[in-house]
Structure 1
Amino acid sequence: MDHATTISKSRTAPVAAGADAGAAASAANAVRVMVVDDSAVIRGLVKRWIQETDGLEVAGSCSNGKQAVDQVGKLKPHVVILDIEMPQMDGLEALPGILAGSPGTKVIMASTLTLRNADISLKALSLGATDYVPKPDSARGIAGSEEFRREILVKAQALGRTAQRAMGASGATGAAGEGTGRSTAASAPARSAIPLGPAPDKIEVRKASSVPPRILAIGSSTGGPQALFDVFEKIGPAIGAVPVVITQHMPPAFTKILAEKLGRLSGLPAKEGEDGERLQAGHIYVAPGDYHMRLRKDGPGVAIALDQEPPVHFCRPAVDPMFESVSKLFGPATLGVVLTGMGHDGREGGRVIADAGGTIYAQDEATSVVWGMPGACAQAGICAAVYPLDQISSAITRQFAGRR
């Protein structure tokens, strides 16, 4: 996820009668966000951040999941930021009711960085949540965390625009819990503050490599876990003769759970990569949270190199460093895949792979939660093909079988 987009910290006052029509239209097109958290301090902080950000407004706030389920059908928010641990009804219990009460609403799970919460968050994604945000384990930590603030706002903006398109014109909203945003008139969605990568009329493609792949490298972000699950449930037998490396934008703890689930789905050994570990065919290595994962030559073999160099596109791990290192070692025998995600991480590394004669596949816009990363690759003209998610696994299988 590329967080380079500027988040406005000073928001103009509500539009008065006779004010500029463009400003009024912008306010009417704001993404409506519901905040659900049992901490009044956290609710207050997140609501304030939303109110201070152009293009966002508070649809309502609730202190537990039951309140959210009761209110969501009336409010129809574009985005719900849903805490996991709450009294009366927790986030996982509330999730199905929220999705049923407001189809099209995007739910972002918020949880502290524990293995238990990571496991619950990934389960929530399989039940229909769209994304997750790791939050510091105290109100003081949240108040001082620019990273948490940025991630909440960027994801709310990007996913909110997707929800607006899915839900159609937005109607007026009422009150929920402790506070609401302004009433909004029905109108067409405004242009997103996050570049989502609209598809050009024609995407230029490169010819796929004629060299059999000796490695599979995958990059993904927002919506990526569910996309990875879909792909790896189908490709296990096809990739047993090569190593697989994955960078999914995820924090620590989450990547461990992700690797374990990919192993169960594929039937192959899967784990977080370890520094100095030799790659083995038929094994899946996931970049651990907060570490870039690169590959390096190690005698006759190839080993993993982890580092905590500065984030790339505000992300660590990032896809570009991994792709670039893979290409240096495997050249035209590289198969790279870019799945759904915000921003453009993977584009420059994908260009290195394509320029070395390797193959890049990207997920299409229609099946991506956000067509940022795969869209950037498609628009750069570095892909051999752009596929719907349900065709990516068969494309990978064909490539390893020598059929294109």
Structure 2
Amino acid sequence: MNFSLKKLSAILFAISILFSCTPTKEETIDYTSMTDAQLEAVADSLAKAYIIVDGHVDLPFRMNVKGFMITKTVEDVSVETTGNFDYPKAKRGGLDAPFMSIYVPSRYQETGGAKDFADSLIDMVSRLPVTFPSQFAMANTPADITTNFDQGLISLPMGMENGAPIEDDINNVKYFFDRGIRYITLTHSKDNQICDSSYDTTYTWNGVSPFGEQVIAEMNKWGIMVDISHVTDSAAFDALRLTKSPVIASHSSCRKFTPGWERNMPDTLIKAMAQNGGVIHINFGSSFLSQESQDKFQKMREDLTNYRAENSLSPEDSIYKAYAKQYTTDNDVYEDVEKVADHIDHVVSLVGVDHVGLGSDYDGVGDSLPKGLKDVSTYPNLIKELLKRGYSPEDIEKICYKNTFRVWEKVQEVAQELQSS
């Protein structure tokens, strides 16, 4: 069954259950007046019918930390795991194309070995389809993802979080393109050779470095999306000035809800990105979603640190773990799915529905995920909330994948033009 028929049949199936008939025009359906049960049925159907692209999932680093082994003795993501991402959860939630984050910690900028570490994670991701060929497939283009979707496979496109592995060799941009990298987050938690980080206070370059200008040009040439998550405002505006292609923020949220926190994007930058044709992929982490949650997490860290010190406990002690779990329950530190929808609403109110996507940061934001979005099985909860707010299925389809595909395809088109000029 091709994608369009699969999509149509899923939508019509949900509608027929709810109304015992199929309306001649989808526009006549008032989703905002449906019961919760009806909305859940439609949301689940749409999650299965549409391709869902997530701009940032940190499975590779999780596998590295836990020691992923082909022998399945440590971490087998083809079955249910305790992590945010695995095959059964992804299938339940309708996730079809999680960008695998090739995350390279900033410490490698000091110790060396960034390129080798990135290669090791790419190798690890590449083994998944070999080990589980009936479940996963690599994907280098939107067309690959569509083909895999039609075959029931979960695609594993890759983005590199931190440009440090490019080191000081511009030829490494093409090298990582050939290895399957399709976006590069220019830096991470420290200023690097390309640009400044929003988590740093050094402002080494006051934006993008001279070498970074070459990197962005080379990314444009080969068809790698420029990712401005993690960078300073000045670096982001420099990237927008320099690029010939649309850019993305693979896992950022709106600074309106976290005033003064540079890791999230201000309205001026969201508007500039939209003028460039780009897309902001909303991060699900509670600390990205509200100042209130940031404040609660800060107090929690202080209280738990004090508790461990007062009782001579380590983070691994069972007594401490039980206390910490009860603390989070009693103090309600987590945001909820509604707040993620608030961020989507804000982007749409600023620049329209064509410039927002999903960038959960699953397996990357630890235990800070919001209620209702605790793992990759829960995308229907967000779709349900958007339906309640009046978003049409066509709007949701754009948010799920069409906006990201549009940027990616334009980046490919510009690359072809640059290579032929």
Do they fold alike, i.e. is TM over 0.5?
no
Query: Which structure's residues are more often helix, by fraction?
Result: 2
Higher normalized strand content (fraction of residues)? 1
**TM-score with structure 2 setting the length:** 0.28
Q: Normalized against structure 1, the TM-score is what?
A: 0.29
